[in-house]
Structure 1
Amino acid sequence: MTALAPALWGTTYLTATLFLPEGRPLLAATLRAIPAGLLLLALSRRLPQGSWWWKSWVLGILNIGVFFALLFVAAYRLPGGVAAIVGGIQPLLVALLASRVLHEKLTLTRLLAGTTGVFGVALIVLQSQARLDGLGLAAAAGGTLSMAAGMVLAKKWGQPVSRGGRPVSPLATTAWQLVAGGATLSILLLIFEGLPTAPLTVPNILGYLYLSLIGTAVAYFCWFRGLAQLPAGAAAFLGLLSPVVAIVLGWLVAGQALSPWQLVGILVVLASIAAGITLKGTTHDPGNVRARRQELPATQGR
C-alpha cells in the first residue's frame, strides 16, 4: 500500500507536461494540495490539538509546501522522468538523517543499496537525449531534500494521540499537512504568480482533479499510513519507484526513447529497492520507547 504512493507520484511529471497550463508551477501546486486537504479533513472530521498545530504546519511546509513548489518548477523545466530521477538520492538522505535523528542503524549494506539506486537512476539519466536545465535540477534536488527532512520529522513525532488515548488516524494527519502546505502555497501564489487571468480548459481541469484526488489525497494517505508503520529508511527506498514509473510512462505515452542502458538502470533501481526494504536498519532507543509507553493508557501499555 505504501508503494502505491510513489508509483502515483511518478505520474505527476507527465500529467503536468500534457494537461496543465505552462509556466504556472505555484498554481499547480496550490490546486493540488488544497482540494485534497479539504477533502480528507471533511472525511476525518478532526482538527489538530496542542503542539500538533505547529507540528502540522512544519510538516506541511516540508512535505507539501516547499516540496510541491519545487516539484512543479522542476516538472516545467525538465523533461518527463528526469526530475523524478533526481529523487534517487532520497534514500541516502533519509538514511543519513534517520541515523542522526531516529537512531536507525546506518549499515554499510543500506548505504550500498542507496548508492546502487543512485547509480541505477544515473544510467537512466545519462542515456537520455533530453536537455538538462540547471534551475530545474536544483529545484528537483531541493524538493528531494525538503521531503527527506519532512519524512524524518514525521517519523520522529509519530502519530498524535487523542484525549481518549487512541492514536489519531493517518487520514487526519495527512489532511492537516495538506491544508497547511496548501495555505502556504496560496500565499506564494498570490505574491509571485497571481491568480490566472485566462480560463482553464477542460484538460487543465481534468489534470488538476487527477493530481489532487489521486496523486495527492490517495497517494499521501497511503504514504503517511505506511510511514507510521515502517522504518523511515525502508520507506525512502520505495520512493525510487517514482522515477521508474515516470520514465516508463514517458516511453509509453509521450514517445520518449528508452535505450537498453536505461532498461538496465530500471532493473538496478528495482534491485536497490528490494535490498533496501528488506534490511533491518532500525535500532530502538530505550528512552524513546519508555516515553511512548508513558503516553499510552494502561491497557495499551500492557
Structure 2
Amino acid sequence: MSSSAETAVTTSVSTGKPQRAALAFSFLSTWIIWGSTYLAIRYAVETIPPLVTAGVRHFTAGSVLFAYCYFRGFRPTAKHWKGAFLIGAFYFLGGHGTLHWAEQRVSSGLAAVLIATEPLFIAAIMIFTGKERFSYWTLLGMLCGISGVAYLMGGEALHAPGQMVGILAVLAGSLSWGIGVCISPNAGLPEDPVASAGMTMFCGSLLLLTTAGVTGEIAAFHPHQVAMRSVLGLLFLIVFGSIVAFSAYVWLLGQVSPTMVSTHTFVNPAVAVLLGWAMAGEALTARLLVATLAILGSIAFIRRGTRAAAH
C-alpha cells in the first residue's frame, strides 16, 4: 500500500483528534480522485475491453488490500468468502462492470451524473423492504431525481448510436450497487472495512474476469494494441481510485460524521463533468447542467428525509 494511503488508514489518534493534513488529504481524495475515475475509465476502455479493465483493476487493488490485512493478522472464514462473492457480484460485476461497459457509449460526465442516482435506488429499496420509514422529503427527492434523469435522457439519448443503451446500463449498474449496499450489513462480511473491501473487490474481479472470458472479451483482447493512455487510465484506477481514495474513505468514516463523508456524492459528478469537458472535449450542455442540479438536489432531499424518518 502506498505511503499516503497508509497514512490515511493508520494515522495515530494519540492526540485525541485527527490531524488536519490527513483530513484534508482524505476529503480531497474522495472528492477529486473519485470524481476523476470516470475519465480514467473512459481512457482505459478505449483500447482495453471493459470487463477486462474492471476485472484487472479490482483484482489488483483487492489483492493489495487483502494482503495488507492478511499480513496484519486477518484470517477470513468461509462465511466471509460467501458474503464477499455475493456483494462482489452486486458491487463490481453488476455495478462497475456495467459502468465500464457503458462508458464506451456515453461520456464520462454523463455516466457520473447517472451514477449519482444510487441514493434514489437505495432509498426506494429501504422503504419498500420496510427498513426505513417513508417521508415527504424522500418522495420529493425521488420525484426530483426521476425528473432529472428523464430530462437528461430526453436529449442525450438521441445524440449518438448506442447512447440510450449506455444510459440504461449505467442506471442498471447504479441499481445493482444500491442493492449491494442494502444487503451488505447482513451478508457476513468481515468487520474490518479494509478487509471487507479487499475481499469483495477480489471476489468481484473473479466474476468480472470469468464473464469477460465467457463473452469473448479475453479471446478478442490483443495487449499489443493497447494505447499508453489506456494503460495510464487503468493504473490510475488501480492505485488512486481503488486503493488510495478508498483507504482515505475508510479512515474518514472513523473520524467524522457519515454526512460529512458523503459529501463526495455531491462533488464527484461536478468534477467528472468538468474534467470530461476540459480534458476530453465532452459537451457541456445546458441540459446536462440542469439534470445534474436536479439529481444532486434529489440527494439532498433524500438525506433530509432519512434524517427526519430516524427521529
Which TM-score tier does this pair reach, normalised by the shorter chain? 0.7 to 0.9
Within 1, Cα distance between the matches of 2:143 and 2:247?
A: 28
Correspondences of 1:121-136 after superposition (within 5 Å) = 130-131=159-160, 133-136=163-166
The reply on whether 1:43 has 2:71 as its aligned counterpart is no
Within 1, Cα distance between the matches of 2:296 and 2:181?
A: 21
Residue 55 (structure 1) shift: 0.9
Within 1, Cα distance between the matches of 2:185 and 2:270?
A: 25
Aligned residue for 2:223, secondary structure, equals coil
Residues 1:225 and 1:96: Cα distance change in structure 2 (over 3 Å): farther
Residue 48 (structure 1) shift: 2.3
Residues 1:268 and 1:158: Cα distance change in structure 2 (over 3 Å): farther
Within 2, Cα distance between the matches of 1:190 and 1:270?
A: 37
1:182 aligns with one of 205, 208, 213: 205
Q: Which residue of 2 aligns with 1:110?
A: 138
Within 1, Cα distance between the matches of 2:302 and 2:248?
A: 19
Q: Which residue of 2 aligns with 1:150?
A: 180
Correspondences of 1:9-20 after superposition (within 5 Å) = 9-20=34-45
TM-score (norm 2): 0.74
Q: Which amino acid aligns with 1:202?
A: M
Within 1, Cα distance between the matches of 2:261 and 2:183?
A: 14
The reply on whether 1:211 has 2:241 as its aligned counterpart is no
Within 1, Cα distance between the matches of 2:41 and 2:101?
A: 10
1:53 aligns with one of 81, 93, 117: 81
Residues 1:124 and 1:139: Cα distance change in structure 2 (over 3 Å): closer
Deviations 1:142-188 (A, max 9, x none): 2111101001112344864xxxxxxx321110001000001111212
Total equivalences in the alignment:
275
Check whether the contact 1:15–1:207 (CA below 8 A) recurs between aligned residues.
yes
Residue 78 (structure 1) shift: 1.4
TM-score (norm 1): 0.75
Within 2, Cα distance between the matches of 1:6 and 1:249?
A: 13
Check whether the contact 1:25–1:72 (CA below 8 A) recurs between aligned residues.
yes
Residues 1:149 and 1:222: Cα distance change in structure 2 (over 3 Å): farther
Residue 18 (structure 1) shift: 3.1
Residue 11 (structure 1) shift: 2.5
Check whether the contact 1:14–1:250 (CA below 8 A) recurs between aligned residues.
yes
Residue 47 (structure 1) shift: 3.7
Q: Which residue of 1 aligns with 2:126?
A: 98
Residue 101 (structure 1) shift: 4.1
Correspondences of 1:23-34 after superposition (within 5 Å) = 24-34=49-59
Q: Which amino acid aligns with 1:43?
A: Y
The CA RMSD over aligned residues, in Å, is 3.4
Within 1, Cα distance between the matches of 2:261 and 2:303?
A: 7
Residues 1:178 and 1:241: Cα distance change in structure 2 (over 3 Å): same
Deviations 1:54-112 (A, max 9, x none): 11110011111222221111011112322333324322211121224462222110221
Check whether the contact 1:16–1:76 (CA below 8 A) recurs between aligned residues.
no
Q: Which amino acid aligns with 2:183?
A: L
Aligned residue for 1:143, secondary structure, equals helix
| Between structures 1 and 2, the one with greater helix share | 2
Q: Which amino acid aligns with 2:168?
A: A
Q: Structure 2: which 5+ runs fail to align?
A: 1-25
Aligned residue for 2:117, secondary structure, equals helix
Identity in percent:
26
